A and B are shown apart, each in its own frame.
Chain A
Amino acid sequence: AQTVTQSQPEMSVQEAETVTLSCTYDTSESDYYLFWYKQPPSRQMILVIRQEAYKQQNATENRFSVNFQKAAKSFSLKISDSQLGDAAMYFCAYRPGTQGGSEKLVFGKGMKLTVNP
């Protein structure tokens, strides 16, 4: 079974600085998708960024980028120019590709990010 591990339960960053959130996963599949979700106090999970495993190029969405290391099964999220609104829980998630037989997202336990003014 696939597993997703977020080893750092909490991190903090100064406003305008850069922070990197780590995530590792375990799978025997070669085709899959990886996601980072943000959960603010409103509880709604918001998709931040996604990465297709078959793409070598790292995904980027404005201030958010990933470092996808397929061989190492690592998928870290970098937040540049951190803003107060970035403070939230962040969850890494894995979804099998078309051969995986399941569309379920598998989530890590999450990490709380605090942004200090």
Chain B
Amino acid sequence: GAGVSQSPSNKVTEKGKDVELRCDPISGHTALYWYRQSLGQGLEFLIYFQGNSAPDKSGLPSDRFSAERTGGSVSTLTIQRTQQEDSAVYLCASSLVTFNYGYTFGSGTRLTVV
């Protein structure tokens, strides 16, 4: 596609429920990243996929968070047993594997846990 697409745009869920957030990167971009942006904060790295390599999961805050990337394209971030502190904007980005490029971001999913 022309840009990074994320769905849903907004999600309200009850505490304790599981949620899935989807990211469709730019075609041809082999690297995909998930970041979390809490209110008034910068972007917190969550997880990074690069081609067929093992993902860098070093930013996942707890074992309730997981992500997968199928076929080197679409990625799903899953949050199990959601808590109120999970409320944030979840941003996905993709990039070419050249270091002088920044990322192309999607518009994010705003998750609200009530």
Contact = CB atoms under 8 A, between A and B. Distances in A.
B56 A95 contact: no
B105 A95 contact: no
B100 A103 contact: no
Interface residues of A, number: 26
A94 to B, nearest CB: 11
A95 B50 contact: no
A46 B106 CA distance: 9
Nearest to A45: B105
Contact of B42 (A47, A96, A109): A109
B42 A107 contact: yes
Contact of B107 (A35, A43, A109): A43
Contacts of B89: 43
A10 B111 CA distance: 25
A25 interface: no
A33 B106 contact: no
Contacts of B110: 43
A109 B41 CA distance: 5
Contact of B103 (A97, A105, A108): A105
Given A103-B50, A104-B56, A105-B103, 16 more contacts: A42-B107, A43-B108, A44-B105, A45-B91, A45-B93, A45-B105, A47-B104, A91-B43, A93-B102, A98-B99, A102-B56, A103-B95, A103-B99, A104-B45, A107-B35, A107-B43
